[in-house]
Every structure is written in C-alpha cells, then in structure tokens.
C-alpha cells in the first residue's frame, strides 16, 4: 500500500467518525487534509490570505455536505473539488488577469537568454493546466481523482496534462516560441 493509498484509508476512517458527529474525527480530517486543501487553494489563487479564506469556506461546505459523500475513500478528491468550485467562483477575474500577465511576460522574453526557470514556467501555465499538473504530480492523485477535484472530465485532465508536459518539454529543449 503506497503513501497515497494509506492516506485515503486513514481519511476514510475519520470521515466515518465525523459523519457520526465525532468532533475529534473531524479535527483529524482538518489536520490531515487541511494542508493539502490550502496548498491546492494557494495554487489556484496565488495568494495565501485568499487561499485561507477559500479553505475556511470549504471546510464549512465540507461539514455540511459530509453526509452526502458516497465513497469515504474519495474524501480528498471530493474536498479538493469543493475548494476548486469556491476558488473558481471567487477568483475568475484574477485568473484571467494572471493569464494575461503571464502571456505578456512570455512575449517579452528574449529567446536564448537565460536557462528557463521551471517553477516560473509552471506558474505561468494556464490555471487549469497548472492545477492538473500539480495535483497529479505533487499530490499523487490519479487522473480520475484530479478530474473529480477539478470537476472536469477525465479526458480534459489528460489533455491538460499533455499540453502542460509538452510546453515544459519544449521549454527545456529550448524549442518554445511562447505557445502553451
């Protein structure tokens, strides 16, 4: 059993307890999933304070909707989906502004200057590609779990991962012409 599977099992146990009204199990869910939800919100909004607000609102929605969760082992992707919806609702304008700034930065970059900064290139990816890439590679979620977390079809997740990988591969080879 790998680390992600152990986490799913542990979360499932606490979900069952929290559903029964045990405060210590809900607190354990917050302790186990909270940092991941905050990291996810932080990736989506690129602002720590806003991310904290989103996660706080997310925990309220999680507490109210926990009884409707059908598969306790899917808690993390379900909770991530809640945070995604809240962030999407609250930050659509900021995401558009960020993508515009990233495009302007790419257009100004001189070809052949310094070697690419992978972190800045990842953060310059469109928000959907960035979120899919980080959930899949950093959080260890499966394609199905990423799809659930981002509330998009699995095929869209695969497409976003493909485009993000292609962009980063081209960047590392020095073949980028500003396309994402």
Looking at residue 11, which CATH number applies to its domain?
1.20.140.160
Range of the domain at 86: 3-173
**Distance separating alpha carbons of residues 91 and 93, to the nearest angstrom:** 6
Domain count of the chain?
A: 1
**Distance separating alpha carbons of residues 62 and 58, to the nearest angstrom:** 6
Closest CA to 7 of 151, 169, 139: 139
pLDDT tens over the chain, length 180 residues: 788 889 999 999 999 999 999 999 999 999 999 999 999 999 888 789 989 999 999 999 999 999 999 999 999 999 999 999 998 887 665 555 566 566 656 655 555 555 556 777 788 888 889 888 888 887 888 889 899 999 999 999 999 999 988 888 887 776 655 454
180 is a domain residue: no
Taking a C-beta distance cutoff of 8 angstroms, is the pair 21, 32 a contact?
no
76 is a domain residue: yes
């Amino acid at each position: 059993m790998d680390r992600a599977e152990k986490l799913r099992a542990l979360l499932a146990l606490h979900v069952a307890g929290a559903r029964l009204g045990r405060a210590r199990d809900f607190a354990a869910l917050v302790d186990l999933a909270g940092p991941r939800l905050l990291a996810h919100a932080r990736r989506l909004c690129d602002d720590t304070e806003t991310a904290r607000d989103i996660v706080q609102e997310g925990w309220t929605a999680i507490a109210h909707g926990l009884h409707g969760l059908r598969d306790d082992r899917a808690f993390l992707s379900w909770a991530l989906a809640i945070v995604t919806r809240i962030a999407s609702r609250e930050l659509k304008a900021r995401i558009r502004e960020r993508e515009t700034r990233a495009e302007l930065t790419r257009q100004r970059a001189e070809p052949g200057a310094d070697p690419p900064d992978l972190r800045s290139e990842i953060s310059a990816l469109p928000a959907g590609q960035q979120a899919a890439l980080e959930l899949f590679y950093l959080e260890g979620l499966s394609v199905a779990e990423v799809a659930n977390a981002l509330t998009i079809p699995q095929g869209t997740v695969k497409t976003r991962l493909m485009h993000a990988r292609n962009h980063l591969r081209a960047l590392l080879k020095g073949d980028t012409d500003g396309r994402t």
